[in-house]
A and B are shown apart, each in its own frame.
Chain A
Amino acid sequence: MTISVGPVSDSIASWFSLRGLPLALSEILAVLVVCVLPVVGIVFPIAGVAQYFERKIAASMQRRKGPMVGAVGIVDLVADMLLFWLPRWKRRAAARRVERLPVLGALLRQVRQWGLGSMAADGVKMFLKEDMVPGGADRFLFRGSTYLALTGAFLAFAVFPFSQWYHMGDPPVAALYLGAVTGLVAVSILEAGWSSNNKWSYFGGIRAVAMIVSYETPIALAIAIVCMWSGTMSLQGIIAAQYHPGWFSFAGWNLFQSPLLTLLAGVYYIAALAECNRAPFDLSEGESELVGGFHTEYSGLRWGLFFIAEYGDMLLVGGIFATLFLGGFQSPIGEQWIVSLPPFAEAVVHTLIAVAKALASVGFMMWIRWTLPRFRIDQVMKLAWTKLVPLALFCLFGLALTQLVAAQRVGVVQVVYGRYLSAPVVRLDLFSWFSSWVLVGGAIGVVVWMAKRAAPAQAPEMRRLLGKESA
């Protein structure tokens, strides 16, 4: 019997067994490394660090400096722990001496100036806070929902391809699986809202369910359309179909294949924002309306778990966005040299690229969050059902038509990408590609122009407020 989740786990298992471990044990260890490492080694640290970066990004947008010094000076903290038998002033003096050391001191000063201590301080604070369960709460659900939130975020990483060789699994129905497990977030938020015995939490839970269930539709449509375009539901297959040999490998990305796919990427991204409860769709938190929404009653580490789940969700959504539209883990400039690397090196390089793409997406979400105000629940619903779903359907029919026409004109090809062979896909020739952009771009331009013409003229007062007209 062999336990294996792919060649990376095989090679790790052989590494263990070569060093004298029993075969079964080394195989189990290898599987654990492959399955646990993405979550523990990538998602958890990023979720922790992301808060620091979010604070810095928000601060720079608000023209302030953000975290500068940790809640506790790092050196003071360490001195307090190591020299606890000394009186306080001696501990402080020792800390000051450490800070005056030539290299270490400079490093520590830098850490303080950049506010890196705040990350540790936040973590420590979260661990030390009391774990409260409000009176009258449903204790089982109240505690369970935190784990469920994490489960929803992390289960999806089971099919997430970090590289050609490094993934936990690549089932042929991975896209379907993604849609199923990301829905767990809604359940966990509803549980949290319901079990808190707090009306504000309850409202947050109800809002989240209404919103997430609505936005599953455009998300599922977007994923289905990309699957249709790539001819497969396997994420590795979708990525393989986006491979474009040569230095301009970004030209193969779905985002640039057709204007309708670009539009679809926008639809997916907006719906994904709603899916992870990020602004402008953070109605289930809505700190100015619902106090804290579904996590009003949570404290300490339980609240932190929701927090990590949120960032895990963001990372996941960014990763899926990259997989569907940005060529997954492929590098934008020249891919062939990475594919030909040995599996382990390839896994490292591709994982870094995949994480970078996901992080760029997370950064974009932060930018959006600190810019836009929040929607109202009816507007959120309206956006989903009257804008995003029709747009996605439009893309569906448009792309199906494109595929039909292109298959007749230029035929289908199978892309060979490393160890994968993509399903038969159409690759538009330059003429069809260009004419589709002209057609769709022109149509969008006409719609925008007509909307602008139909809009009433701006009041002179509003023009004055915007600085277009002086008083």
Chain B
Amino acid sequence: MNVEREGDYITLSMGPHHPATHGVLRLEVTTDGEVIRACKPDIGYLHRSIEKIGEFLEWYQFVPYTDRVDYVCSMNSNHAWVCAVETLLACSEETKLAIPERAEYIRILFAELNRISSHMVGLGSMTMDMGAFTPFLHALSQREFINDIFEKTCGARLTYNYMCVGGLVRDLHPGAEEEIRAMLKGLERAMIDFNRLISSNNIFKARLAGVAAVSAEDAVSYGLVGPNLRGSGIDFDLRRDKPYGLYGRFQFEVPVGKAYAGSEGRLGDCYDRYVVRLLEVLESIRICRQALDQMPPASGVEDDLVGGWCVAKAAQKALRKPPVGEVYFRCENPRGETGYHIVSDGTKFPYRIKIRTGSFTAMSIFEKLVPGLMIADLVALIGSFDIVLPEVDR
């Protein structure tokens, strides 16, 4: 007997001002009691036309805008943009830049630190969505330590504007290496505490186990990237499989989902995505330590150290007349693959910029994934995708 009746559904407008949507996301949810029958994401509340603005800015001026594309991991966005422009400049021998090795190491060091801090926000806010507020603050306090280091080096805590075409704005602040090492040591201990407090908690596991499992095929066909893709068991990481910068020089594992939640769990469920992020934090710590070990010491001459448009004449010259052409550059960001497609017509302004972000592509799978979940599961799903709304809308 079919007990479901049409017309008994409630339409809920979840967002744009809802505590669990992590920003101004609106989900049009049709529910049958607690069970959701349909879900339609409504995005665009935070659209600032960053891509269009980029066409009226010089190449180096766009860096602060990349901070705002994903403010939780500005360093990685900076990295993706400067790498894209440097790849464009490398198309011609005249404009090709020699980036100082130390600058490359610092880029990777800071990108990984920012990955940790971004995952701390993602993991912490996920626990808060599940109703546990204490671990959220524990996670955020670790992020503060990373922000302290960033602030000392580049003067900002959120939107760094630290990397630039050809290098960095400035070198690490004195004593940064020791500070970072001490911070990483504390972070490792804090992660164990965090995991014992919440990640291994039975209620938390039960809330996430088997919820919104994404099959490997779906993950690929809906264009999931980063931890969301790897949570479904697909072993793909740009840092290892298509290394950019100096990533080829580091030893690290790529964690993938393995139905970690035990008998209740399924491959690619919310708990897998959560655990993949936890493991990625540990791998990032490894990469940071290796970068600190391998990094050439500061030579004391600013130009040699960091390069960059503000100090290196070569970069200034190259950016006035870049080669004509198109570049699509992909970077492994905390929220997955971020691609910058830039078209150059040989002037000092980009002809066209297109940014491909992980959070935006994750939106498309909602309509398929959500029907059948409960309202509380939808909150878990949003948290486990770790979406950041400015990245969705740009």
Residues of A within 8 A of B141 (CB): 63
Residues of B within 8 A of A282 (CB): 131
Say how far B41's CB is from chain A's closest CB, in angstroms. 17
Interface centre among A287, A290, A461, A467 (most CB of B within 10 A): A461
With A288-B128, A455-B262 in contact, do A375 and B207 touch (Cβ < 8 Å)?
Answer: yes
**B260 lies within 8 A of A459 (CB):** yes
B189 and chain A: residue at smallest CB distance: A467
How many residues of A are counted as interface, with CB atoms below 8 angstroms from the partner's CB atoms?
40
**B282 lies within 8 A of A456 (CB):** no
With A456-B262, A466-B195 in contact, do A373 and B207 touch (Cβ < 8 Å)?
Answer: yes
Report the bound CA distance from A291 to B197 in whole Å. 25
Say how far B132's CB is from chain A's closest CB, in angstroms. 4
Q: Is A286 an interface residue (CB 8 A)?
A: yes
Q: Is A64 an interface residue (CB 8 A)?
A: yes
**A376 lies within 8 A of B197 (CB):** no
Q: Is A61 an interface residue (CB 8 A)?
A: yes
What sequence of 0s and 1s flags, for each residue 228-263 of chain B, a beta carbon within 8 Å of any chain A beta carbon? 000000000000000000000000010100101011
Say how far A111's CB is from chain B's closest CB, in angstroms. 26
A282 and chain B: residue at smallest CB distance: B131
Residues of B within 8 A of A206 (CB): 33
Interface of A is mostly: loop
Say how far A99's CB is from chain B's closest CB, in angstroms. 32
**B263 lies within 8 A of A465 (CB):** no
Report the bound CA distance from A290 to B379 in whole Å. 10
**A372 lies within 8 A of B201 (CB):** yes
* Binding-face segment, B294-302, B354-362, B369-377: B369-377
Report the bound CA distance from A94 to B128 in whole Å. 45
Q: Is A110 an interface residue (CB 8 A)?
A: no
Residues of A within 8 A of B197 (CB): 371
What sequence of 0s and 1s flags, for each residue 367-387 of chain A, a beta carbon within 8 Å of any chain B beta carbon? 000111111111100000000
Q: Is B152 an interface residue (CB 8 A)?
A: no
Q: Is A414 an interface residue (CB 8 A)?
A: no
Residues of B within 8 A of A370 (CB): 133-134
A-B contact pairs, 16 of them (CB 8 A): A62-B134, A283-B376, A289-B375, A291-B18, A371-B197, A373-B127, A373-B130, A373-B131, A374-B132, A375-B203, A376-B376, A378-B34, A462-B275, A465-B275, A471-B253, A471-B286
Chain B residues at the A interface, C-beta cutoff of 8 Å: 10, 12, 18-20, 33-34, 127-134, 137-138, 141, 191-192, 195-201, 203-204, 206-207, 253, 255, 258, 260, 262-263, 275, 278-279, 282, 286, 374-377, 379
Chain A residues at the B interface, C-beta cutoff of 8 Å: 58, 61-64, 199-200, 203, 206-207, 279-280, 282-283, 286-291, 370-379, 455-456, 459, 461-462, 464-467, 471
- 19 more contacts with CB within 8 A, not counting A376-B206, A461-B260, A467-B192, are A63-B137, A282-B131, A288-B20, A288-B128, A288-B131, A289-B376, A373-B201, A373-B203, A373-B204, A455-B262, A461-B255, A461-B258, A461-B275, A462-B260, A464-B279, A465-B192, A465-B275, A466-B192, A466-B199
